[in-house]
Copies of this chain bind each other. A is one copy, B any other.
Amino acid sequence: MLNLSRRTLVGSAAASIAIPIAAATATRATSALAGKQAAGWYRYKVGTFEITVVTDGIARFRFADDHVTNKSRDEVNAALSGMFMEKDMMTPPYNPIVVNTGSKLVVIDTGTSEANYIQSKGMGGQLLANLAAAGIDAKAIDAVIISHYHGDHVNGLLRADNTLAFPNAEIFVPANEHKFWMDDGEMSRASKGRMEDLFKNNRRVFSGEVVKRLHTYEWGKEIVPGILATGTPGHTPGHTSFVVVSGSDKIFVQSDVTHVPFLFVRNPTWHAFYDQDGAQAEATRRKVYDMLVADQMLVQGFHYPFPGLAHVEKAGMGYRELPVPWNPTI
């Protein structure tokens, strides 16, 4: 019967092994560790469309005291602890997707970039490596759609040598988002530090070859057939989510309506420091999640744990995501 006291564990560890593995021992003395993770991609269908979630990996950092601007470090740590996660550390995942509509191969958001792959020693910036593992040629991508102008969504437009990561793709960006970040007046009013850095980074990325491929899109319109742009502002002024529709099937690609779900889906009133307008982001979050619950709609979350496809239910004062079980076939 079950008995797992420390004494039993120690006792049994000390006990001699009932039956030695004679044959196996004779064959090999050691078993080399692999040290390699499975390639991070996962595929599912939406109607006749094929969605491939291609993870860009994760980051790992000690979070700042104002990581959640309206909650203390202790409150954030309590939430992490409730999820059996390490105190004081944030490990956000990044999950771009590829939509194959049958006529177009479309990347939505580009991850943290190949430069970050090198810098992070492979922890982040995995998009191009995982794309290749999934059998998708970056040269075959027809369109890249950008949800908003934060580095983990736009930096992957460029390779480490500053050439285009998707050399044959047109690049679609939210009209109002582009206008905001390219506006010299807005930039002149940006606070030092993060906001100013964002302006600088966006002007670095959106230059040269990227600009030659650039098209702006409007909220409420289709960007390519079957991918509808829907305004979900607050996180940034032009922050956009997407509804991918094929036949009677659809999913909601939320971009950053919430950051990591274990903090911000459970606690929609919490304001991530990433949210440029916290109050507007919260209102958007409520609106989106109430809709996801009412319509029983699937959500694909950029910062959800890979592969990031879930249903949503109400839970307490917020919501809970219910990951769709991994389907080992398609």
Contacts and interface: CB of A to CB of B under 8 A. Distances in A.
Contact of A322 (B52, B83, B222, B329): B83
Interface stretch (A70-78, A154-162, A196-204, A229-237): A229-237
Interface string A317-330: 00000111111111
B41 A243 contact: no
Contacts of A41: 38
Interface in A156-194: 168-170, 172
B36 A38 contact: no
Query: What range describes how many residues of A lie at the interface?
Result: 35 or more
Given A2-B287, A40-B328, A220-B12, A24 B143 contact: yes
Contact of A143 (B21, B38, B93, B284): B21
Contacts of A50: 33-35
B225 A27 contact: no
A83 B325 CA distance: 10
Contacts of A207: none
Nearest to A56: B328
A230 B134 contact: no
A64 interface: no
Nearest to A53: B38
A143 B17 CA distance: 14
A34 B284 CA distance: 35
A221 B9 CA distance: 9
A221 B93 contact: no
A249 to B, nearest CB: 13
Contact of A33 (B57, B102, B123, B223): B102
A291 to B, nearest CB: 6
Given A17-B222, A142-B28, A37 B328 contact: yes
A52 B37 CA distance: 9
A102 B34 CA distance: 10
B326 A307 contact: yes
Interface in A1-28: 1-4, 8-9, 12-13, 15, 17-19, 21-25, 27-28
Contacts of A325: 91, 93, 305-306
Given A15-B221, A19-B170, 5 more contacts: A21-B170, A21-B224, A37-B328, A38-B42, A306-B326
What 10 A-B pairs come out closest when comparing CB atoms? A24-B142, A305-B325, A19-B215, A306-B326, A84-B311, A31-B105, A40-B328, A57-B328, A37-B330, A33-B50
22 contacts: A1-B231, A2-B230, A3-B220, A4-B230, A4-B243, A18-B216, A18-B218, A21-B142, A23-B170, A24-B104, A25-B142, A31-B100, A31-B140, A36-B43, A36-B330, A38-B42, A40-B328, A58-B327, A82-B313, A123-B328, A305-B326, A306-B325
Interface of A: 1-4, 8-9, 12-13, 15, 17-19, 21-25, 27-31, 33-43, 50, 52, 55, 57-58, 82-84, 91, 93, 100-105, 122-123, 126, 134-136, 140, 142-143, 168-170, 172, 213, 215-225, 228, 230-233, 241, 243, 245, 284, 287-288, 291, 295-296, 305-307, 311, 313, 322-330
